[in-house]
Structure 1
Amino acid sequence: MIKFIKIAHQKIKQVLILSFATLLLFGCSNKPVIEISQKKPNIIFILTDDQRWDAIGYAGNKLAYTPEMDQLAEKAVFFKNTIATTPICAASRASIISGLQERTHNYSFTTGEMKEEYMQNAYPRILKKAGYYTGLYGKFGVKYKHLDSLYNVSENYDLRYDKKDITSYYYKTLGKDTVHLTRYTGEKAIDFIKKAPSDKPFCLQLSFSAPHASDNTVEQYFWDEKYNHILENTTIPDANNSSDEDYNKLPQRVKDGFNRLRWFWRNDTPEKYQHSVKGYYRMIAGIDDEISKIRKELEQKGIADNTIIILMGDNGFFLGERQISGKWLMYENSIKVPLIIYDPRNKNHKDVDEMALNIDVPATILDFAGVQAPATWHGKSLKPFVDTDKVDLKRDTILIEHLWDFKNIAPSEGVRTKDWKYFRYVDDKSIEELYNLKEDPRETNNLIKDEKHQEVSNKLRNKLEALILEYRDPFEFNPINVTFNKNQFSWEVSNNSQKQTGYQILVSSSKENNDNNIGDVWNSDKVESDAKQGIKFVGNKLESQKTYFYKMRIYDELNRTGRYSAPQKFTN
């Protein structure tokens, strides 16, 4: 053996010595060697709030100061078309945690807690059961009382929306210093890495509140003053598609809603626009700085080479485009987010054009951990893009939706393919938009009324209907046996184990209006009540001998809406 080592190549010598040392430590069995070669990676999942897809230097944005994110992207897989299937933080985060479309989990701001049936398969719970040490710092974003069942350690916090000044972001302390929330989250991550047990892998979810605006303040954006130099001598150019003509193309329900209101908060004057956009990018620079510190801590602990980093935004954002602000809508600004998957064990960089989704992240994390994803999840693992060059997700059409039942933000639903997008507004399905993303990436030319594109619009409309059925909530609460007699509505409920907390009735002058959810004769809006019998019609005066159409939906004990009942008709 000694003679062979002396004449062997130096690399072979090192391998033999390592193998001999292994045998001394563990005996002749090859099992320990297999365990070493298959050591599970640590995973850090970084989720930012309102970071749109192009708010990163790597995407070619000269306004973004993100050297650390850029460096990650250059060594990682960068997904150029990542879609938040629901462009709002609450529902998007619920989808990421549960692996489900909003259509299924039906969770948003005004609902009760996330249903336990869906949280049983929450990705951190599965990882924890599989032996991972799990942690969360920052904005969980979903109402749920049992975080300890998901994480070994956690601290759930967000910017303070009840504050009307800088203390919305400055209220956490490190030692004696009150620091920006981004700095606090970064330090909690470093502390987690230092203290994580060495005998098991970890998965850390960092949910930064930045660059979300402080909605209830005059300034809107607050950042650490150390980033004042960023864009200091730069004049931010006007946003794309921000002319009066672009604004006037919007449906009236969008013009009357929060998208326009928040534009007045942030962008309606040149001074506000410059302040807000610079503030937005300075807050992202703060996150980038914390990522740099976290990576240095990984190096110092000697685990950087076995720690996967995934970075994604929870939804997109309007920065003055169409003279609106916020997110929520189905336009690219709102639904597209950045996604970086960095695996230091495989530095095969590539840019991916194929659509990736927020609901793919939990399946991807489990795949890296070597854990089987639940069959009920809707996303697909993106790990194959890291491992190989030839990947086909067999994903042609995706469902995009924002279903929050809130009068100040028009709910909408649609589908997107590689080249096309179709969407409509839930409360008036006759308002439709169709865009050729390949030829019109900024979505300026609505083709829905173009006769040459009727085949495309019909195909996508039918696909939307099919996906709505495919992803419906199996626990949804619906009215059955709905009747209208002697000017009164009555119904029963589909599941007597659930409690009805409200209802909405639509009465329409035509079947077309009823199909489109237009209650032009009577729209009761939401009525908070558990009553199911003898609900009086109080809409517009009914004409004699005229036929009308009606349907309704109910709210469950979590304030979640079910589907509308099938349209019915009566003649007055």
Structure 2
Amino acid sequence: MKTRPNFLFIMTDQQRFDSLGCYGNKIAHTPNIDKLAASGIRFAKCYASQAVCSPSRASIISGLFPTSHKVTDNLYGIDDATASPDYNLAVNWPTLMHEAGYRTCWVGKWHLGEKSPTCFDEWYGFNSLLPHWLGEPQKSKYRVELEADQAISFLRRNRNAPFLLCLSHYPPHTPRTAPVNFASLYPNMPMLFQMYYGAISAIDYHLGRVMKELEALGLADNTIVIFTSDHGEHFGMRPGGASKRAAYDESARVPLIFWAPRLLSKKKVRQELVSNVDLMPTILELAGIDCPKGLHGSSLVPLLTGRSVPWRNSLLIQNTESVKGKEPGTVSSRALCTHEWKLILRDGFSDGARSLYELYDLLKDPFELVSVYGKENAEVVRKLLVEMDYWAKQIGDKKILELTEACRRDLGM
């Protein structure tokens, strides 16, 4: 591999981790993404820092949790969050790669401002809320197809320069809609799920077009491909928000795949707990660019290359949950996830929440259906609270300390 690899960063919106064949879904028609996973590295337990679009995307580019980069809910009506003193996003990996000489391009949904940041040489982006179709649904071009066309055009024009191409698709986010030829792959499902999975299959098809172009241009051997999503989707079946804003796996756990056969180890699946705050230090190390100090994430490069290193045993998820009739994000919540347990703490009752505190035994109850929070599991909770306090100090999140103290009082500790 050349000294400076190219990067193709592909991100979908609101795509849950288990919506792909390579993550065990027997219904999903995703052959191209599955092919990436089969010859790359798939992270089985990757979580968004917060299960909301803008905060998660800000964490992806900054390597910080939302309470530190200060994007704690969706952004509308601002020019550029990366240039705003209201947010801590000036240091980010697209900017550092641009400054290091990479030819940079963003295609698709950005959700961190209405205007193009200066770090992108080419910009075909938008903040949010554009229709998934360029005109009349089913009779005009699907936006995912246009974005793949734009990505292919960029590759053809920049094949001789080290490049960073970010391809960010709005689907399968609401409004859930997909071309009929892809939705029809799921004839026995309710329309909502036909459209959700149809959108994912459309993305998969056009990702295949982009990958074929990489190979045709002779770029595949020197390009690192990363596939992920900003957060998942629980279809209104969980407390906290209509389809996200919750720490349950359906909304907080996301796919993460790295593909670069000449660089990566032969171990196809990693079980470590990883977060999207880990992406910034990982990408910078792969690009050979010095990583700024003070990031919350850790480089995944040792895991990608098969080196044995100590790794975290827990992971934090920050969230703001909704209450009907009030502004989004009225309730603050924090969750700690280990391989065995998930503890969720709230400072109020969000929509559908029956308890301020929830505890799930992930070994016995991987779908997080029955909370076992209570005095009978007080010792488990006590240990998890100690771990949450550690995270609070590591990332400077005072809300965690408020919540852990309230939980201790609730259990009489």
How far is the alpha carbon of 1:222 from its aligned partner? 1.6
Question: After the TM superposition, which parts of structure 1 deviate over 6 Å for at least 4 consecutive aligned residues?
Answer: none
**2:152 match:** 190
**1:134 match:** 104
Given residue 157 of structure 2, which amino acid in structure 1 is its aligned partner? K
**1:454 match:** 378
TM-score norm. by structure 1 comes to 0.63
**1:208 match:** 169
Contact kept in structure 1, 2:59 and 2:69, CA below 8 Å: yes
Contact kept in structure 2, 1:55 and 1:61, CA below 8 Å: yes
**2:410 match:** none
How far is the alpha carbon of 1:142 from its aligned partner? 1.0
**2:348 match:** 427
**1:316 match:** 232
Contact kept in structure 1, 2:321 and 2:333, CA below 8 Å: no
Counterpart check, 1:170 vs 2:124: no
How far is the alpha carbon of 1:146 from its aligned partner? 5.6
**2:276 match:** 358
Query: What SS class does the counterpart of residue 354 from structure 1 fall into?
Result: strand
User: Any idea what the Cα deviations from partners look like across 1:220-257, whole Å, max 9, x if unmatched?
Assistant: x221223143012x2x4xxxxxxxxxxxxxxxxxxxxx
**1:13 match:** none
Contact kept in structure 1, 2:68 and 2:88, CA below 8 Å: no
Q: Which runs of 5+ in 2 are unaligned?
A: 408-413
Query: What SS class does the counterpart of residue 212 from structure 1 fall into?
Result: coil
In 2, the alpha carbon distance for the partners of 1:89 and 1:384 equals 28
Change (3 A) 1:145 1:465: farther
Counterpart check, 1:282 vs 2:204: no
Query: What SS class does the counterpart of residue 311 from structure 1 fall into?
Result: strand
Given residue 74 of structure 2, which amino acid in structure 1 is its aligned partner? F
Which of 195, 209, 221 lines up with 1:305 in the alignment?
221
Counterpart check, 1:118 vs 2:88: yes
**Larger-Rg structure:** 1
Worse-superposed segment, 111-120 or 286-295? 111-120
**1:415 match:** 336
How far is the alpha carbon of 1:392 from its aligned partner? 3.0
Given residue 348 of structure 2, which amino acid in structure 1 is its aligned partner? D
Contact kept in structure 2, 1:77 and 1:385, CA below 8 Å: no
Given residue 318 of structure 1, which amino acid in structure 2 is its aligned partner? H
How far is the alpha carbon of 1:145 from its aligned partner? 4.8
Which of 444, 454, 459 lines up with 2:369 in the alignment?
444
**1:60 match:** 24
In 2, the alpha carbon distance for the partners of 1:288 and 1:383 equals 26
In 1, the alpha carbon distance for the partners of 2:108 and 2:127 equals 6
**2:257 match:** 340
Contact kept in structure 2, 1:277 and 1:319, CA below 8 Å: no
Change (3 A) 1:442 1:105: same
Which of 52, 55, 58 lines up with 1:88 in the alignment?
52
How far is the alpha carbon of 1:393 from its aligned partner? 4.7
**2:303 match:** 385
How far is the alpha carbon of 1:441 from its aligned partner? 0.7
Worse-superposed segment, 129-138 or 403-412? 403-412
Greater relative contact order (Cα < 8 A, sep 6+): 2
How far is the alpha carbon of 1:193 from its aligned partner? 0.4
Given residue 58 of structure 2, which amino acid in structure 1 is its aligned partner? A
In 2, the alpha carbon distance for the partners of 1:516 and 1:56 equals 39
User: Any idea what the Cα deviations from partners look like across 1:79-99, whole Å, max 9, x if unmatched?
Assistant: 111111211111000111111
Query: What SS class does the counterpart of residue 213 from structure 1 fall into?
Result: coil
**1:154 match:** 123
How far is the alpha carbon of 1:156 from its aligned partner? 1.6
Equivalent residues in 2 for 1:246-285, closer than 5 Å:
274-285=190-201
TM-score norm. by structure 2 comes to 0.86
How far is the alpha carbon of 1:39 from its aligned partner? 2.8
Change (3 A) 1:417 1:228: closer
Worse-superposed segment, 202-211 or 366-375? 366-375
Counterpart check, 1:399 vs 2:316: yes
Query: What SS class does the counterpart of residue 359 from structure 2 fall into?
Result: strand
In 1, the alpha carbon distance for the partners of 2:337 and 2:203 equals 30
In 2, the alpha carbon distance for the partners of 1:306 and 1:47 equals 20
In 2, the alpha carbon distance for the partners of 1:59 and 1:120 equals 34
Worse-superposed segment, 92-101 or 358-367? 358-367
Given residue 152 of structure 2, which amino acid in structure 1 is its aligned partner? I
In 1, the alpha carbon distance for the partners of 2:115 and 2:132 equals 24
In 1, the alpha carbon distance for the partners of 2:383 and 2:69 equals 26
Over the matched positions of the two proteins, sequence identity in percent amounts to: 30
| RMSD of aligned alpha carbons | 2.8
